[in-house]
Structure 1
Amino acid sequence: MIDVVRKILKKPCENVSAITEVDLYSKKINFLEHAMLLVQSAISHEDLTDISMDNHVSKSQISKLDTRRPYQVFLELFYDLIYPYIMAHNYAMYRRFLNIIGIDSTFIRTAIKESGKYRRQKTESGIKMHHAAVVFPFTLPIESLVTPANLNDSPGFDEIIGSIDPDLLKGSILTFDLGYYDLDRFMDLKSRKIRFVTRIKKNASYEVVKKYAHSRIVRFRNGVILRLVSIYVDGEQKDYLTDIMDLPDFYIHCIYSQRWNIEIFFRTMKSYLRIDHLISRNVNGILIQIFSALIAYVILRMIQDMISCRMGIPDLIRMIRHGIVLPFRKSAKGGYPVNI
C-alpha cells in the first residue's frame, strides 16, 4: 500500500509544497510523509499513533502538526488530485451524457465542546460537512464545505456552487433535496442556465400555466416558471421540480434517484474512512482529518481504475485491510500483483 500511495501522492504533494512553501520550515516530517501517514491510517483503519510510531514519528510530533500545519495545504492537495482525475475521465463515451452532481450535507460528531449543537440531537456537538459530488457516471467528491452543525443548510449551497468549475457545472445537472429548497435560488439557477432536479414542498403554492402528460408548467409567487413532474413509481407518487423541459418524465425521476449515491458516499466516509467521530481537539486538526479522508477516497478511486475487475470501495478497503493481493492490470503504474 505504501508504495502505491506514495506514487500517487508524490507529485501533487511536491506541487502543493512548492506553491505554499509548507515544507520550508519542516525539520522532521515533510508534507508528503504527513499526508502518507494520514491516508494510511484512514484506509487501513489503524490508529494514527501506532502508524506514526512504526514510522519513527512521536505522538507529540503529530499533535504539533495538527495545530501548526494549516489545513489549507490538504485542501489544495485534494483539488490537485481531483480535477486532473475528472479531466482524465472525460472519455468520448461520457460526452454523450451529462454529469449529474448531487449536493447534500451530513453531521459529524466532534470532541470540541464549542462546536455547534446538532438540531435533531441537542446533546451532541459537531459540524456539518456539505458536499458536491459527481454521482453519475461515477461517484466522486468535487467540493466540500464545513460549517457548525447549528447553521442552516441553505447558505452552504451557494458557496458550494460558486466553487465548482464553471465548465463542469455547465455540462451537468444538479440534484438536491428539500434542505436547499428556495424559490429565489431556483430563479437564479434558471437564469444562469444551470439545470437542476429537486423535490417540491407539500404545501407549495403555485399557478398551473400548462399541462401535458404527467407534467405541469407552474408559476410560483416570485415569478419563476418551472416544470412540475408527477409520476407514480412502485405505487407511490413522486413530485419533482426542474427547469429541464425536454426530457421524459421517467428520466427526471431517474436523475433525482442518482442523488442516493452521495448518501452512499457519506456512509463510506463515515463507516470505512473514520470520520463518524472526529477526535481532534482543535478546528485545524478536524479539517486536516476530513480532507485526509477525502484524499484517501480519491486514491481508492484511482486504485479501482488500476485493478482488472470491478470492485466497490468497501470491498477494496476490506481486501487492503486483510492484506489480500489486489489484481492489478499489467499496465497499471503500481505494477502487479501488489500487496497493498
Structure 2
Amino acid sequence: MNPDLFQKLFLDLVGQIHAKTHYTKLVMPLKIIDSSTLPLNLTNHKWAKFRKTKAGVKLHLRLVFMEKGRYYPEKAVMTTAKEHDRGQLEIMVDDKECMYVFDRGYLDYERFDRMTDDGYFFLSRLRKNAVIREVYNFKLPENTAVLTDQMVLIGTTQNRAENYFRLIKVLDSKGNELHLITNRFDLSAEEISEMYKSRWTIELFFKWIKQHLNIKKFYGQSEWAIQNQVFLALIVFCLHVLAQIETKSKRKTLQISRYLRVSLWKPARIWLRKIEGKTIP
C-alpha cells in the first residue's frame, strides 16, 4: 500500500491535536527537530544500504513540545540512513510563529543566516572549538547557573555568518559545559537554557516508539513496507495523545498504552474509565 495514505492520516490526526490543544493560541510554540536511524538487515534491504555491511532508514521528525509530559509528532520524513540531517532542515522549518530547537547535527552557518533573515527563530548547540568573536557581554543576574551570555559573530573569515547571534554558556545536570547559539535576544538566558533542556523530549520519543510501537522489528522488506510501519507507529502515538486530551487525563502515554493492551478485548468504557482514573463498577 502506498505510504501516502498513512502519511495523510497521520497529518489529519496532527490537525485534530492542533485544534483540541488550541495550538494557534500559543504565544510561541516550541518545535524540536531531530532524526533517528532504524537499522535494517542488508541482505533483505539492499535498497537502504549506507555502509559496507549495514542498511538502514532514517526518521526525520519535528515534535511539538507543549509542556513536560505533553508533546506530539507534527511532521515526519523518511529517508535512507545515508541522508545527512542538515539536508532536511529546509523541509522541517516552515513556520515563523515558533521556536525551533535542534542539536549540532544541523549546524550550518549559511542556513543560520538565511533563517534569521527570513524571520525564523532557532536554538542549537555550538561546537566548543567553533571560532567566535565576542561583540558584547550581557550582564548576568545574581545566583544564575549561566556562565556567560554574549552577542557574537561566528565562523572564520572564509566561512563566517553575517548576522550577530547570542552565545550562552551553561552547565548541564552532569556538570558539562554547553554552548548554546540562538538568534533570540528578547528572552532571558535562563529561559533559553530551559528551552534547550526540552530537546531531550525527542530522544525520549524515539526511545518510546522503538520500545513500545514495534519499529525495531520490521515485517516487510520493501521501502513502502518500512515507511508504512513507521507511519502506523506515529498514528498510534497520535491516537494516544487524542485519547489523553479527550478524557482530560493526567495519565502518561505509556500508561494509557498499557491500559489499552489489558482492555483490548473488553468494552471501550473500561479502557476510558481506567484512563480517567475512575473506578469500574
Gaps of 5+ in 2: 140-147, 155-159, 265-269
Change (3 A) 1:249 1:160: same
Match of 2:171 among 232, 236, 249: 232
Residue 197 of structure 1 is matched in structure 2 by 123
More off after superposition, 146-155 vs 319-328: 319-328
Q: Distance in 1 between matches of 2:261 and 2:82?
A: 36
Residue 16 of structure 2 is matched in structure 1 by 84
Task: Classify the secondary structure of the residue corresponding to 1:277.
Answer: coil
More off after superposition, 79-88 vs 230-239: 230-239
Superposition pairs of residues 33-182 of structure 1, within 5 angstroms: 69-90=1-22, 95=26, 97-111=27-41, 112-117=44-49, 123-137=53-67, 138-162=70-94, 169-182=95-108
CA-CA distance at 1:327 after TM superposition: 4.1
Task: Classify the secondary structure of the residue corresponding to 1:278.
Answer: coil
Describe the superposition over 1:65-123 as per-residue Cα deviations: whole angstroms up to 9, x where unpaired.
xxxx211111111111212321321179x63x42110000001123443144466xx64
Match of 2:183 among 227, 235, 243: 243
Aligned amino acid, residue 101 of structure 2: T
Superposition pairs of residues 19-34 of structure 1, within 5 angstroms: none
Aligned amino acid, residue 151 of structure 2: I
Contact 1:308 1:328 (C-alpha < 8 Å) held by counterparts = no
Task: Classify the secondary structure of the residue corresponding to 2:236.
Answer: helix
Change (3 A) 1:286 1:260: same
Q: How many residues align?
A: 256
Task: Classify the secondary structure of the residue corresponding to 1:245.
Answer: coil
Task: Classify the secondary structure of the residue corresponding to 1:139.
Answer: strand
Aligned amino acid, residue 98 of structure 1: M
Change (3 A) 1:175 1:304: same
* Higher helix content, 1 or 2: 1
Describe the superposition over 1:140-169 as per-residue Cα deviations: whole angstroms up to 9, x where unpaired.
11111111112222101212224xxxxxx2
Describe the superposition over 1:227-274 as per-residue Cα deviations: whole angstroms up to 9, x where unpaired.
001123454422200001011111111001111111111111111111
* TM-score of the aligned structures, taking structure 1 as reference length: 0.69
Contact 2:149 2:169 (C-alpha < 8 Å) held by counterparts = yes
Contact 2:128 2:179 (C-alpha < 8 Å) held by counterparts = no
Q: Distance in 2 between matches of 1:327 and 1:294?
A: 21
Change (3 A) 1:337 1:86: farther
Change (3 A) 1:91 1:281: closer
Task: Classify the secondary structure of the residue corresponding to 2:231.
Answer: helix
Change (3 A) 1:222 1:127: same
The reply to whether residue 223 of structure 1 matches residue 223 of structure 2 is: no
Contact 2:45 2:222 (C-alpha < 8 Å) held by counterparts = no
Task: Classify the secondary structure of the residue corresponding to 1:247.
Answer: coil
Q: Distance in 1 between matches of 2:135 and 2:124?
A: 20
Q: Distance in 2 between matches of 1:337 and 1:285?
A: 41
Contact 1:101 1:136 (C-alpha < 8 Å) held by counterparts = no
Q: Distance in 2 between matches of 1:73 and 1:337?
A: 39
Match of 2:201 among 254, 261, 271: 261
- The alignment's C-alpha RMSD in Å is 2.5
Residue 310 of structure 1 is matched in structure 2 by 250
Q: Distance in 2 between matches of 1:90 and 1:175?
A: 21
Residue 271 of structure 2 is matched in structure 1 by 326
Q: Distance in 2 between matches of 1:85 and 1:212?
A: 39
Q: Distance in 2 between matches of 1:245 and 1:260?
A: 23
Q: Distance in 1 between matches of 2:279 and 2:221?
A: 40
Q: Distance in 2 between matches of 1:99 and 1:70?
A: 32
Aligned structure 1 segments of 4 or more residues deviating by more than 4 angstroms: none
Change (3 A) 1:91 1:248: same
Q: Distance in 1 between matches of 2:23 and 2:61?
A: 24
CA-CA distance at 1:203 after TM superposition: 1.4
Describe the superposition over 1:159-202 as per-residue Cα deviations: whole angstroms up to 9, x where unpaired.
2224xxxxxx2221100000101101111111121111111111
Task: Classify the secondary structure of the residue corresponding to 1:98.
Answer: coil
* TM-score of the aligned structures, taking structure 2 as reference length: 0.83
> Percent sequence identity over matched residues?
25
Describe the superposition over 1:289-331 as per-residue Cα deviations: whole angstroms up to 9, x where unpaired.
11111111111111112335411111111111122833449xx
Q: Distance in 2 between matches of 1:173 and 1:130?
A: 18
Gaps of 5+ in 1: 1-68, 163-168
Change (3 A) 1:236 1:108: closer
